[in-house]
Amino acid sequence: MDESHSGRAALNWAAKHARLTGNSLLAIAIVDWPTGLLGAADGGLPLETLLLLPNEEQSQDLRRATQHIFDQVNPETSWDLQFRVGHVGRILAQESRGAQLLVIGTGEHVGLGRVLLGSTSHYCLSHASCPVVAVPGDQSAAT
C-alpha cells in the first residue's frame, strides 16, 4: 500500500473484503529498489550505494503517512501493517504464498513510466500463488 489513489483504493477494497469474510489483513508498504541499479547488484558495490533509501526523517514521515492511511480503514486487531524495502512485485508474490487473496492497485504508471518501472500488477498476476484482485485507482473516490 502507498499514498497513491490506486494504493488507497486497494486498501479500502481489501478492508471491506476482510470484514465481509472475517479474514485478517496484511497491508505492506514497500520502498522499491532504484530503477536501473538492479543489474549492478552483482558488481561488488556496497548495498548502501545501490539503495536510494530515504533518510531517517523521510523514512519516519513515510511511515507516519502510511500508518495514517491504514488507520483510516479502522483496522481490526488481527490486521497488520508492515514496511519493506525491495522489488514490489517480488515481495508481493512471495507474500502471496500463504495468502488466500492478493489485492493490488493498478493504473498509476502509463506510457514511459510503465516502460521504465514495469507493471507491478502484471508481475503479480504472473507470479502470485493465490488469486489476485486488481483495483483501479479511480475506485478510491467511490469507497
Domain boundaries, the chain: 5-142
The Cβ-side half-sphere exposure at 10, using a 13 Å CA radius, reads 26
- State the pairing for strand pair 26-31/80-85: parallel
Per-residue model confidence as pLDDT tens digits over 20-34: 999 999 999 988 765
Per-residue model confidence as pLDDT tens digits over 56-108: 666 788 889 999 999 999 999 999 999 988 888 999 999 999 999 999 988 65
* CATH entry, 5-142, from 3.40.50.11540, 3.30.1450.10, 3.40.50.620, 3.30.1280.10: 3.40.50.620
- In 3D, which of 125, 124, 135, 99 has the Cα closest to residue 24? 99
In the chain, % of residues over pLDDT 90: 47
- In 3D, which of 8, 130, 133, 135 has the Cα closest to residue 69? 8
Q: In this predicted structure, what is the pLDDT of residue 58?
A: 65
For residue 109, the tally of other CB atoms under 10 A from its CB is: 17
